[in-house]
């Protein structure tokens, strides 16, 4: 399932090349009806699910001090990260219960939901809520044999982050964030997606059959340091710029 229909088709094609069945579904998970539709289409084509992995999220393009964030800007990452994950879990769990086999759900959060996230406060709050929601969902679904855990990646190289780190449209502060994050990580570099996808596989498989309601951080050790940089650097909020510049 992807917002980008072509990306969904490419992933489905990779799965089919392995000799497996796959279905590509285009959906915008901020649409409240989309999660139930994606599950219904999947059940119709492939049968009831036993595993679901929810990689729903993003900053929503809101990079600013919280003093300058509007109510609409605050809601954007909440809907993109938390509400989409909640609605996806809801639809997936209902299908799993009806299927009668139990299952496992893996939500994907962010280390911005574990540590302070300057200039990304809405994104950080939403991902902290994803982690907490995972705990509540795990307890409620345990009687049905459904486990729910959360994978929490640190800053990784993806198509999107590479674009932010190199684009002419990105500010020097944002580009510098990726350099500082790599330097501050004990392993000395940012992660690659393939390095953390194995953690999702672990959580989705029987290898973690006694694990539910927890989150696992894959960040190269960055959370063990005090050097995690602020996204976008140090910014003076526009709301109090007159005070700062007048002092």
List active site positions.
123
CA distance 229 to 117: 9
CB of 218 within 8 A of CB of 154? yes
């Amino acid at each position: 399932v992807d917002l980008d229909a072509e990306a969904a088709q490419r992933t489905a094609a990779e799965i089919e090349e392995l000799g497996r069945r796959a279905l590509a579904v285009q959906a915008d998970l901020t649409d409240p009806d989309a999660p139930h539709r994606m599950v219904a289409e999947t059940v119709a084509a492939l049968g009831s699910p036993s595993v679901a992995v929810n990689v729903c999220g993003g900053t929503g393009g809101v990079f600013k001090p919280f003093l300058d964030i509007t109510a609409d800007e605050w809601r954007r990452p909440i809907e993109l990260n938390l509400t989409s994950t909640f609605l996806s879990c809801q639809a997936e769990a209902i299908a799993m219960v009806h299927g009668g086999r139990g299952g496992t759900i893996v939500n994907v959060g962010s280390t911005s939901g574990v540590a302070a996230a300057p200039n990304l406060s809405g994104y950080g709050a939403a991902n902290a809520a994803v982690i907490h929601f995972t705990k509540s969902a795990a307890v409620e679904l345990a009687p049905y044999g459904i486990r729910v855990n959360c994978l929490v990646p640190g800053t990784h190289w993806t198509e999107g982050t590479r674009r932010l780190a190199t684009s002419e449209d990105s500010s020097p502060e944002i580009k510098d964030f990726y350099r500082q994050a790599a330097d501050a990580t004990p392993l000395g570099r940012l992660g690659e997606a393939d390095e953390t996808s194995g953690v999702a596989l672990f959580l989705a498989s029987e290898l973690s059959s006694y694990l539910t309601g927890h989150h696992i951080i894959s960040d190269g050790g960055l959370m063990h340091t005090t050097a995690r940089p602020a996204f976008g650097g140090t910014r003076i909020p526009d709301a109090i710029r007159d005070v700062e510049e007048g002092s």
